[in-house]
């Protein structure tokens, strides 16, 4: 009996799995522990994989992956299926957490170095300001994309997923993902005023 039900889940394809995951998150939002166990079983591995790509350190990756799954438990009520798939929502949380950890580590290292090497010079300040302004422009332009374009671009370029992996995560056809990413990149290019 179990083998036949597993076969039916596989036959459902990515869209069916995405809908199942969205339903599980709805139950998690109501405090359903068994639904959370299913979400954990499905996503803990991919979350760890994504975090590990960003952090590289296995111990930190495990810690951040656990924090992500805890966030999913606490914030499941914030998931909005109209803005994207459940898998992409969780992976976005994972990516943000991993990037936050990297930034935190880098900031701590910079603080330690500045204390060790004395005051920051004018060229260093100019470089830091320019980098911060570039990051703000990218975030602003990413915000100008449609939610579907932003989701696909974020997974492909910030999450490190291949186009087929993005299609699987989002539960859509590969051609749809390619179109969303292409259109999103064109829109970002125009927003940032960067020539091709």
Predicted pLDDT of residue 41: 95
- Tens digits of per-residue pLDDT, 139-170? 888 888 888 888 888 888 777 788 888 888 88
Identical topology for domains 1-118 and 120-196 = no
Predicted pLDDT of residue 27: 96
CB neighbourhood size of 95 (10 A) = 22
For residue 181, which of 158, 160, 143, 154 has the smallest C-alpha distance? 154
Predicted pLDDT of residue 10: 44
As assigned by CATH, the class of the 1-118 domain is mainly alpha
What are the residue boundaries of the structural domains of the chain, listed by start? 1-118, 120-196
What are the distances in angstroms from CA 132 to CA 26, 126, 139, 151? 37, 10, 11, 23
The answer for 162, left when phi > 0, alpha when psi is -120 to 50, beta otherwise, is: beta
Residues of the chain falling short of pLDDT 70: 1-16, 111-126, 128-133, 194-196
Predicted pLDDT of residue 49: 93
The fold for domain 120-196 equals: Arc Repressor Mutant, subunit A (1.10.10)
Predicted pLDDT of residue 11: 44
């Amino acid at each position: 009996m179990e083998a036949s039900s597993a076969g039916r889940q596989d036959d459902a394809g990515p869209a069916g799995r995405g809908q199942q995951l969205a339903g599980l998150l709805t139950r998690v939002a109501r405090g359903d522990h068994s639904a959370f166990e299913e979400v954990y079983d499905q996503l803990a591995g991919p979350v760890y994989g994504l975090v590990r790509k960003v952090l590289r350190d296995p111990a930190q990756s495990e810690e951040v992956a656990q924090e992500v799954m805890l966030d999913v438990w606490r914030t499941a009520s914030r998931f909005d299926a109209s803005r994207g798939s459940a898998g992409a929502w969780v992976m976005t949380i994972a990516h943000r957490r991993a990037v936050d950890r990297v930034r935190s580590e880098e900031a701590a290292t910079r603080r330690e170095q500045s204390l060790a090497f004395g005051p920051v010079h004018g060229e260093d300040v100019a470089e830091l300001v320019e980098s911060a302004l570039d990051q703000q422009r990218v975030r602003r332009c990413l915000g100008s994309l449609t939610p579907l374009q932003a989701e696909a671009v974020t997974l492909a370029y910030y999450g490190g997923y291949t186009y087929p992996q993005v299609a699987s995560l989002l539960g859509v056809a590969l051609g749809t993902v390619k179109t969303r990413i292409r259109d999103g990149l064109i829109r970002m290019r125009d927003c940032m005023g960067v020539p091709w």
